[in-house]
Chain A
């Protein structure tokens, strides 16, 4: 079955630094990748949708200059949280969709900004 690997699974960073999170589809080509943010005891909120080789489409209220998304290949998308602040601390989850596969989710990245 389809597997999506997300790395790192957790990261702690200092306020003001940038953090990169990777999302890889291991056994299929992901035509579209999605990034979600989840606060404790809340649902997953879609941040952005990215198609390979094109700019990501951001949901309303999500700062594209703060959350940089790169989808350079059919198996890799990255989310970079720039100049992170404590309020950016959250659980970030990616998902990938291929031609023959539905939405498959990564295991998430717990970001803590101190």
Chain B
């Protein structure tokens, strides 16, 4: 199946720093979503974006739906240790749903 390219692949940051990651696709998606996965668990939805150009926040998280509909960005401000995990983007068109390659985030206290 199709896979979206996510970067960076991994990040090691100091607690309190801001984080940015992005996701790109060769295809257009109508919906972009961002998930966080903790070890041994399923992904948990963080933010869903439904319109090109949309900017949506959830606490310290902010995500944007790219104008071209082929990309999306996630920012985490003032990182804390519990932000550690793997972040996945996902693009959706109806029942077609594809994950990004993931960004592993490590926060150093």
Interface size of B by CB at 8 A reads 22
In the complex, which residues of chain A have a beta carbon less than 8 angstroms from the beta carbon of B33?
102-103
Check A64 for interface membership: any CB of B closer than 8 A: no
CB-CB nearest in chain B for A109: B42
Q: Given that A32-B95, A34-B97, A97-B95 are contacting pairs, would A46 and B1 also be in contact in the complex, using a CB cutoff of 8 Å?
A: yes
Which of these, B3, B44, B98, B102, contacts A105 with CB under 8 Å? B44
Check B45 for interface membership: any CB of A closer than 8 A: yes
Q: What are 25 A-B pairs at a CB distance below 8 A?
A: A6-B42, A41-B104, A42-B101, A43-B3, A43-B101, A44-B43, A44-B88, A44-B99, A45-B99, A46-B98, A60-B1, A95-B42, A102-B33, A102-B45, A102-B48, A103-B33, A103-B45, A103-B92, A103-B97, A105-B42, A105-B43, A106-B42, A107-B41, A108-B40, A110-B40
